[in-house]
């Protein structure tokens, strides 16, 4: 008779990373404080102001939707990591899609220091490219820390090009346009601007109705 014993399925082993990075603890702490002391009081105030009117259901719905978004971002923040193993590089970002890049594709790294409107507030940027110059992933020191950027460079051990002088963030985006995240695209700025105008207009309308109603 044949063997009737079913074969035992092999267990999938978790990836053993040579290097694992987490977002800076100060970033997580500041996010929690911002939500507790800024977002929550603002949400309560909006609902409270809209209670005398029929708009309170709409305002409450918007507040709940924003709370869900904040919860998703916070979950991503606490579970984000960078993992480097002999086979590939795993990047689980906060607001960017997860990606797994074969290590053999990482051909070169670019290190740059950028700043916004204030020259004194700088941030280091790391961008990885393949042999054809294609963008692979991007890391920022304000999320992963300066020491974390240095550890990634040391772990990958590939060609590194470092810009000696700090540059504006716009100049960085112009030099490396493929490294832009979705929230740095012009379309995103337009959407955020329109939403901000709608929110402010709604608040002004509620305040006006309140004044005339009184």
118 assigned to some structural domain: yes
Which is more confident, 19 or 186?
Answer: 19
Question: Number of folded domains in the chain?
Answer: 1
194 assigned to some structural domain: no
**141 and 148 in contact (C-beta within 8 Å)?**
yes
Which is more confident, 72 or 62?
Answer: 72
Domain containing 126 equals 83-180
39 assigned to some structural domain: no
202 assigned to some structural domain: no
104 assigned to some structural domain: yes
109 assigned to some structural domain: yes
Residue 183 makes CB contacts below 8 A (sequence gap 6+) with 95
Mean pLDDT across the chain: 78
In tens, the pLDDT along 69-117 reads 888 888 888 889 999 999 999 999 887 888 999 999 999 999 999 988 7
**183 and 175 in contact (C-beta within 8 Å)?**
no
Read off the CATH number of the domain in which 98 is found. Answer: 2.30.29
On the question of pLDDT at 6 being above 80, the answer is: no
Which is more confident, 136 or 37?
Answer: 136
The confidence band for 137, taking pLDDT boundaries of 50, 70 and 90, is very high
Burial class (CB in 10 A: 0-12, 13-18, 19+), 13: exposed
68 assigned to some structural domain: no
On the question of pLDDT at 180 being above 80, the answer is: no
The confidence band for 187, taking pLDDT boundaries of 50, 70 and 90, is low
Angle between helices 40-50 and 186-213 (to 10 degrees): 40
**126 and 111 in contact (C-beta within 8 Å)?**
yes
145 assigned to some structural domain: yes
């Amino acid at each position: 008779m044949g063997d009737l014993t079913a074969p035992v399925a092999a267990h999938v082993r978790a990836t053993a990373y040579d290097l694992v990075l987490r977002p800076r603890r100060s970033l997580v702490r500041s996010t929690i404080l911002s939500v507790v002391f800024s977002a929550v009081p603002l949400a309560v105030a909006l609902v409270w102001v809209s209670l005398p009117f029929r708009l309170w259901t709409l305002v409450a719905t918007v507040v709940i939707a924003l709370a869900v978004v904040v919860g998703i971002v916070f979950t991503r923040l606490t579970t984000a990591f960078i993992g480097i193993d002999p086979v590939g590089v795993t990047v689980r970002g906060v607001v960017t899609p997860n990606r797994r890049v074969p290590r053999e594709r990482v051909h070169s790294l670019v290190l740059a220091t950028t700043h916004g409107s204030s020259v004194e507030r700088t941030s280091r940027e790391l961008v990885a490219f393949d042999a054809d110059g294609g963008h692979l992933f991007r890391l920022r020191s304000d999320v992963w820390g300066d020491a974390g950027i240095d550890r990634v460079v040391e772990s990958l051990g590939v060609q590194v090009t470092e810009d000696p002088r700090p540059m504006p963030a716009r100049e960085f985006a112009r030099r490396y346009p493929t490294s832009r995240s979705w929230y740095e695209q012009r379309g995103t700025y337009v959407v955020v601007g329109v939403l901000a105008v709608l929110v402010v207009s709604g608040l002004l309308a509620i305040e006006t109705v309140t004044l005339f109603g009184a």
